[in-house]
Each structure stands twice: as C-alpha cells, then as structure tokens.
C-alpha cells in the first residue's frame, strides 16, 4: 500500500495550495494552512516558490505551512528546503505548525523521499506547536529541547532507530501527541523494542495524552509491551494501527491493564480473527475502537502479513 490521500486540514486549518502570482483571490495569511509545492517539470525551484510565498503572502501572519513535492524532475534531498525555511524563520514569528513532505504516491512513493536532518526546524522555530514529517530515507534528528511543541509525528515506511532514539532523548515538556510510523526493516525501520521503552515507561513526556506506535512489523510485541506500560494510564487515545497486529498481540492487550479509560483505540489494518474483534469490542465498551481494514487471520505466517505503508 501507499499513502494515497492528501490531508485536507492541518493544525485545524483548511489546506490552501499556494500558487505564485495567482490571479485568484487569496485567503488571509492566518486563515489556512499554506501548502507549497513545486510542480512537476516546473521552471521554478523550491527556493523561488518559497520566496514568492514570503513576498505575496504576509509571512508575519502565517500560522501553518505544509511542504509538498520540493523537486522539479529528479528527486532531490529535502536538505535545501529545510535550509530555505530556517533561513527565513525571523519572518515567520507566528508559525505554529509545519508539515514537511505532504506527498502522496501520485507525486513520490513515501520511501523514495530523500530526507535529511530535521533538527534545525525545531531550533529555528521555538514557537512551533506541531511538526509532522513524512519520509524515512536518510531522515535524521538530534535530541533537542523544545518547550512549546505539543504534537510530533513521523510518518515513514521505515523510521530509522536513530530518529526514534533522538525523540526519546529529547526534552519535550509540552508534548501531548506523539505518533511514529515505524515501518519495516527493508526500508530502514530498524528500531527495536528497547528503543520504544522510553515512551512506555511513563518517565518522560509528562503531558502525553496520545501515543501512536503504528505501521510496524513488531505490532504484536508493541501491543504486548503496551499492555503493561505505565504510560497508558495517562493516555486518552492509543494508536497501534497499520501494522502486523494479530490475535497474539490483541490477546496480550486484553489480558493486560485496563484500557476502558481510553476514548479511542485505533487498530485499523490488522490481522485479527472475527472472534478477537468481537472480544475487543465487548471488552472495551465506551471506547471507540477502530477495527477497519481487517486483513483476515488466514495468514500462514508473518510473511503473508504486511504493514499498511512501506514503499
């Protein structure tokens, strides 16, 4: 599978595609999440689109920016994009939310995105509340301290363990939502259970209310660990979706600590039996359990199971 849907809202704002020299009327700077992208085969590179944006839209009022495809023809690294954005950070004092790589298969496969170190974005925007990054190849992060960030999301078909460890090693006192699409080893998703332990033991991220450890080959092990994780008591919602979850992991969840305090439990894209789905629903009254995209429990072994997003 692939990422096939564009987001329609970001940071609770509707997406508006920025077109340089657009004759059509423009919304107010702070009323939308501005999506910037380089058109396939365009004469303009990202730097030019970015400068047009800063000139044509009042940057001081911009609250949310979404970066789509940044290359013209050959896929290129996102590094220069990060440089271009951070170089102009002073002009974007109101920026609260940034999505780097809002790209679907129609533009580039998620694992073909050429990523880079995203740490400079967090340093350059101390007022940032929400950061989302799509793509795992060559993705890097250094441990940071960021006092305002409330939402952090890494979407990938293979999230490097170094990034997972850097998140775990960061000081994020305001973080309420953490979502990691861990992906598969084949595409660089080499995080092990030990790397996830810091998110589960409750010692870090004091404000955390939503945890997503999703899209993983290790979904059963993650479920088993979550079943006894101290952090769960603090959560309002838990996302273990998109991975290779089978009855084994779901049984562990049911036999672990109570989950009835959750508002929602996202398990969509799973390999659960019908009986297990019924057990889950019965055991979690009042919890909104997403059991969509049932892939069936017929798989002979794990080689017949897939995560939702890999390539």
Partner 1 sequence: MRLTVLGNPGHRRVTLFAAAARAAGLPEPAVLPWLDVLRGRYRLPEGGLLRIESPGEEPEVDALLRGPALGPGYAPTRVEGTAVWYAGVMAALRGLAARPGVRLLGDPEEIAVMFDKRRAHALLAGAGVPVPRALGGEVTGWEHLRERLAEAGLHRVFVKPAHGSSASGVMALEFGPRGQVQATTSVELAGGRLHNSLRVRRYREEREVAAIVDGLAPDGLHVEQWVPKASQSGRSADLRVVVVAGRATHAVVRTSAQPMTNLHLGGARGSLDQVREAAGRAWPALLETAERAAACFPGSPMVGVDVLPTTGWRRALVGEVNAFGDLLPNLTGLPGGPAEGLDTYGAQLAALTTLLPSSPAATDHQITEPAR
CB atoms within 10 A of CB 103: 23
According to the binding rule CB under 8 A, does residue 41 interact with partner 1? yes
Distance in Å, CB of 80 to partner 1, minimum: 15
Classify residue 162 by burial, with Cβ atoms within 10 Å: 0-12, 13-18, 19+: middle
Pick the piece of the chain touching partner 1 (CB under 8 A) from 33-41, 127-135, 165-173, 221-229.
33-41
Show the CA angle centred on residue 131, arms to residues 102 and 144, nearest 5°.
135
Pick the piece of the chain touching partner 1 (CB under 8 A) from 45-53, 82-90, 111-119, 257-265.
111-119
Overall size of the chain counted in residues: 311
Q: Six-digit token pair at 232?
A: 């769960």
According to the binding rule CB under 8 A, does residue 112 interact with partner 1? yes
Cβ proximity to partner 1, 9 vs 261, nearer residue: 9
| Strands lying side by side in the sheet with 13-17 | 9-10, 13-17, 33-36, 64-67, 97-100, 130-134, 151-155, 177-183, 210-216, 237-239, 264-266, 288-290
Pick the binder of partner 1 from 4, 90, 286, 298 (CB under 8 A): 4
According to the binding rule CB under 8 A, does residue 221 interact with partner 1? no
Best CA proximity match to 66, nearest among 120, 5, 116, 130:
130
Cβ proximity to partner 1, 40 vs 207, nearer residue: 40
Q: What is the DSSP letter of 60?
A: G
Q: Six-digit token pair at 56?
A: 């044509």
**CA–CA gap between residue 28 and residue 294 (Å, rounded):** 42
Pick the piece of the chain touching partner 1 (CB under 8 A) from 4-12, 152-160, 211-219, 238-246.
4-12
According to the binding rule CB under 8 A, does residue 201 interact with partner 1? no
Cβ proximity to partner 1, 107 vs 217, nearer residue: 107
Pick the binder of partner 1 from 56, 83, 88, 114 (CB under 8 A): 114
According to the binding rule CB under 8 A, does residue 51 interact with partner 1? no
**CA–CA gap between residue 300 and residue 221 (Å, rounded):** 18
Q: What Cα–Cα distance (Å) separates residue 157 from each residue in 176, 215, 263?
A: 23, 8, 27
Cβ proximity to partner 1, 71 vs 154, nearer residue: 71
Segments of the chain assigned E as strands: 9-10, 13-17, 33-36, 64-67, 97-100, 130-134, 151-155, 177-183, 210-216, 237-239, 264-266, 288-290
69-108 footprint of partner 1 as x/- string (CB under 8 A) = x---xxx----------------------------xxxx-
According to the binding rule CB under 8 A, does residue 293 interact with partner 1? no
According to the binding rule CB under 8 A, does residue 19 interact with partner 1? yes
Distance in Å, CB of 137 to partner 1, minimum: 8
Cβ proximity to partner 1, 107 vs 239, nearer residue: 107
Enumerate binding residues for partner 1 (CB under 8 A): 2, 4-8, 17-19, 23-25, 35, 37, 39-41, 68-69, 73-75, 104-107, 109, 111-112, 114, 311
């Amino acid at each position: 599978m692939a990422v096939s849907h564009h987001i329609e809202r970001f940071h609770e704002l509707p997406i508006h595609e920025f077109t340089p020299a657009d004759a059509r009327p423009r919304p107010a700077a702070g009323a939308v999440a501005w999506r910037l992208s380089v058109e396939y085969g365009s004469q303009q590179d990202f730097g030019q689109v970015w400068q047009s944006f800063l000139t044509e839209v009042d940057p001081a009022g911009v609250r949310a920016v979404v970066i789509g495809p940044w290359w013209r023809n050959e896929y290129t690294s996102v590094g220069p994009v990060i440089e271009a954005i951070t170089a102009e950070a002073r002009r974007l004092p109101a920026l609260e939310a940034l999505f780097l790589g809002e790209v679907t298969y129609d533009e580039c496969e998620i694992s073909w995105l050429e990523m880079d170190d995203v740490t400079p974005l967090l340093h350059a925007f101390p007022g940032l509340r929400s950061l989302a990054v799509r793509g795992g190849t060559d993705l890097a992060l250094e441990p940071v301290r960021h006092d305002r960030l409330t939402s952090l999301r890494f979407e990938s078909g293979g999230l490097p363990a170094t990034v997972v460890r850097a998140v775990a090693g960061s000081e994020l006192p305001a973080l309420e939502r953490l979502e990691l699409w861990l992906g598969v080893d084949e595409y660089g998703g080499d995080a092990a259970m030990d790397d996830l332990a810091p998110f589960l033991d409750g010692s870090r991220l004091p404000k955390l209310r939503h945890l997503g450890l999703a899209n993983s080959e290790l979904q059963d092990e993650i479920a088993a660990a979550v079943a006894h994780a101290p952090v769960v008591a603090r959560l309002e919602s838990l996302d273990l979706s998109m991975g290779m979850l089978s009855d084994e992991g779901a049984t562990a969840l049911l036999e672990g600590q109570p989950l009835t305090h959750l508002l929602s439990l996202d398990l969509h894209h799973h390999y659960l039996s019908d009986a297990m789905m019924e057990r889950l629903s019965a055991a979690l009254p009042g919890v909104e359990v997403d059991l969509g995209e049932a892939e069936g429990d017929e798989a002979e072994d794990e080689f017949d199971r897939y995560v939702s997003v890999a390539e």
